[in-house]
Amino acid sequence: MNIEQLQQQYNEKRRREKRKIVSFQILLLVGLLLFWEITTHFRILDPLIFSSPRAVGSLFITKITDGTLFPHIAITLFETVVGFILGTLLGTLLAISLWSSKTFANVMDPYLVVLNAMPKVAIGPMILVVFGPNMLAVLVMGVLISVIISTIVIFSAFQQVNENYIKVMQLFRASKYETFRHVILPASTPTIISTLKVNVGLSWVGVIVGEFLVSSSGLGYLIISGFQVFNFTLVFLALLIIIVLATIMYKGVELIERKVLEKQ
Amino acid sequence: MSYLEVKNVTHHFFKEQQVATALEDVNFTVNSGEFVSFLGPSGCGKSTLLSLLAGLLKPTTGSINFAESDVEIGYMLQQDFLFPWKTIEDNVALGLKLLKKEEDRSIVDELLEQFELAHTKKLYPPQLSGGMRQRIALARTLAVKPTLLLLDEPFSALDFRSKLSLENFVSETLKRFSTTTILVTHDISEAIAMSDKVFIFSPRPGTIVKSFIIPQEVRELTPFEARNAPAFQVLFQEIWKELDSDEY
């Protein structure tokens, strides 16, 4: 059939296009690694500062085999996931409390603006002093960095819900709680999920900065300690692991987003 | 004894810089089972009147009295405003759930059956056409068995064909339930075709300037047939002139 042939041709063309994109992407990655390896091998770039892919690779293998890498990865991952979940959850709860009372929302408004404008990492030293040099301080940093912006974004999503939906609820004499459960929350779910995506990135920032300050364990600690003894191979190793993990986490949230939005 | 009595109702909207008078000295009565329309240009306070009747707003002065004490009001908006995150079934059952009448849930199936929309039960609103959605919105309104139904231009967002068929459908359904109904619209034909009584509203501040009783012969017809009746044309001209003199 002619139409079927055309359809096949169309599919074939799309497949080819896709293969082309993927092969270029792989080529670019290999090219970058090669560039890194060659320039440091011939000392165009100082290998003391820029290390090299081979050095990073072999350090990775040694550290995996002697088991000194895994605990750091586990700690950072744990802190980030907990910070991310708590940040989003607290942000949502704060947004709900703002929504439930207009007076409260109006009173809080300037404070939210100030808190949002303030660079949260600037109070890192304070957090360290208050909570002590431990995991709790790192978690607080991770939560603090995402909670205010989550609150603001989710609260404004609550406010933007079409007021006719709320009118429908009022006509059935719904309570504030019922209105929230049946209208406000489901209508704002897409926004809440998109703040999740932003918060993945923010939580990593908070946790790594926290680990810089606390300096006892985790990938952020590896970076800072590698830097202090001029072991940049270690710095690059930690950095690459962070990149991979952060990407996986982001993709995971994207997957959840697709699942939830599909349901709606 | 009339079912609903509205006496000297005036309503203002207060803003920082000004006070807007939405309604001024509105008086009318509606008998039980009657279909009454308010006809007037956009922004003449028709929707405000419905909000007052529904109890969403309190009038600045005047009184709104019902003959019975347990009045259940159904309100249908210009668009369906079905919740896209709930199934059709749950949308129709919304009022029952909120008014704690869940034991009457069988009415949901009955209504969907009558409206020939039983097959859409498990679907979501975006999967339905505009006309179907508006019928579901009517089912949601009727599920709580309202004694007074308020229709706020419920056909204005539909294409002409869906509008005509929905008018027939609504009129037939309401006759069967013998629900007292108040419709607000800016469509002259719609008002004549569906109602027993038509009140003409003047713009800003809204007040009733004239009322028309629809002749029995037109009332008995379906809205679609009514449009072709000779008496319909006469009435149309008359109302048109009246609105024209109010700078419609």
Q: Which CATH number is B61's domain given? A: 3.40.50.300
pLDDT exceeds 50 at position A259 = yes
> Within this chain, do residues B60 and B159 fall inside the same structural domain, yes or no?
yes
Asked if B77 and A167 come within 8 Å (Cβ–Cβ), the reply is: yes
Per-residue pLDDT tens over the stretch A215-253: 889 999 999 999 999 999 999 999 999 999 999 999 999
* Interchain CB contact of A182 with B (< 8 Å): yes
Of B92, B112, B146, which marks where a domain is finished?
A: B146
Question: DSSP letters along A98-162, please?
Answer: HHH-HHHHHHHHHHHHHHHHS-GGGGHHHHHHHH-SSHHHHHHHHHHHHHHHHHHHHHHHHHTS-
- Measured CA distances, A55 to A36, A47, A212, A243, B82 (Å): 11, 9, 24, 18, 61
**B64 near A CB under 8 A:** no
In this structure, the answer to whether residues B166 and B242 fall within a common structural domain is yes
Say if residue B8 is in the same domain as residue B124: no
CATH of domain A64-263: 1.10.3720.10
**The domain boundary residue, chosen from B146, B178, B196:** B146
Taking the Cβ of residue A164 and every Cβ of chain B, the question of whether any pair is shorter than 8 Å is answered with yes
Residues B61 and B136 in one domain: no
Instruction: Give me the residue label for tokens 């708590």.
Output: A86
pLDDT of the residue at A223: 94
State whether B164 and B242 are in the same domain.
yes
Question: Which residues of chain A are within 8 Å of residue B95 when distances are taken between CB atoms?
Answer: 172
- Selection from B66, B1, B60 nearest residue B26 by Cα: B60
Give the separation between CA B103 and CA B114, rounded to whole angstroms.
Answer: 20
Whether B162 and B40 map to the same domain: the answer is yes
Q: In terms of domains, do B97 and B219 share one?
A: no
Decide: helix, strand or coil at residue A204: helix
A174–chain B Cβ distance below 8 A for any pair: yes
Q: What is the largest CA-CA distance in chain A?
A: 77
User: What is the domain partition of chain A in residue ranges?
Assistant: 2-45, 64-263
Pairing, β B180-185 against β B35-39: parallel
Q: How many domains does chain B have?
A: 2
Residues A198-207 pLDDT 10s: 889 999 999 9
Are A172 and B85 inside 8 Å of each other by CB? no
Going edge to edge, which strands form the sheet with B207-213?
B73-76, B148-152, B180-185, B35-39, B197-202, B207-213
pLDDT in tens, A177-200: 999 999 999 999 888 888 888 889
A11 three-class SS: helix
**Does B208 share its domain with B88?**
no
The size of the A-B interface in CB pairs under 8 A is 41
Give the closest of A168, A170, A186 to B85, CB-based: A186
User: Is A181 touching B (CB cutoff 8 A)?
Assistant: no
Looking at the complex, does the CB of residue A177 fall below 8 Å from at least one CB of chain B?
no
CA nearest neighbour of B178 among B205, B142, B207: B142
Residues B95, B186 share a domain = no
Is the CB of A172 less than 8 angstroms away from the CB of B84? no
Residue range A148-158: mean pLDDT, rounded: 92
Choice between B218 and B151, residue whose per-residue pLDDT is larger? B151
Both tokens assigned to B52: 């007052």
Q: What is the mean pLDDT of residues B147-174?
A: 82
| Confidence (pLDDT) at B130 | 81
Co-location of B53 and B172 in the same domain: yes
Q: B160 and B81, same structural domain?
A: no
What does the alpha-carbon distance between residue B232 and residue A66 come to, in Å, rounded to a whole number?
A: 94
Q: Does B14 touch chain A (CB under 8 A)?
A: no
* Binary contact (B77, A173; C-beta < 8 A): no
Nearest residue of B to residue A261, measured between CA atoms: B85
Mean pLDDT over residues B161-169, rounded? 80
> What pLDDT, on the 0 to 100 scale, is given for residue A194?
86
Query: Where does the pLDDT of residue A263 fall: very low under 50, low under 70, confident under 90, or very high at 90 and above?
Result: low
The pLDDT, as a whole number, for residue B248 is 44
CA B198 to centroid of chain Cα atoms: 13
Binned at pLDDT 50, 70 and 90, residue A110 comes out as very high
Q: Does A250 touch chain B (CB under 8 A)?
A: no
- From B146, B174, B196, the end of a domain falls on B146
H helix or E strand, kind and range, residue B213: strand B207-213
Structure tokens at B183: 């419709």
| pTM given for the model | 0.81
- In tens, the pLDDT along A20-69 reads 999 999 999 999 999 999 999 999 989 888 999 999 999 999 999 999 99
> C-alpha angle with apex B204: B199 to B210, nearest 5 degrees?
20
Where in the sequence is the domain holding B40, given as residue range(s)?
A: 1-71+151-248
pLDDT, tens digit (0-9, with 9 covering 90-100), for B209-235 = 888 887 777 777 777 777 777 777 777
> B72-107 pLDDT, tens per residue?
888 988 888 999 888 888 898 888 888 887 777 788
- By the CB < 8 Å criterion, does B85 face chain A? yes
Nearest to A173 among B77, B81, B99 (CB): B99
Q: At B205, phi and psi to the nearest 5?
A: -80, 145
- Shared domain check, B105 and B87: yes
Nearest to B56 among A162, A170, A186 (CB): A170
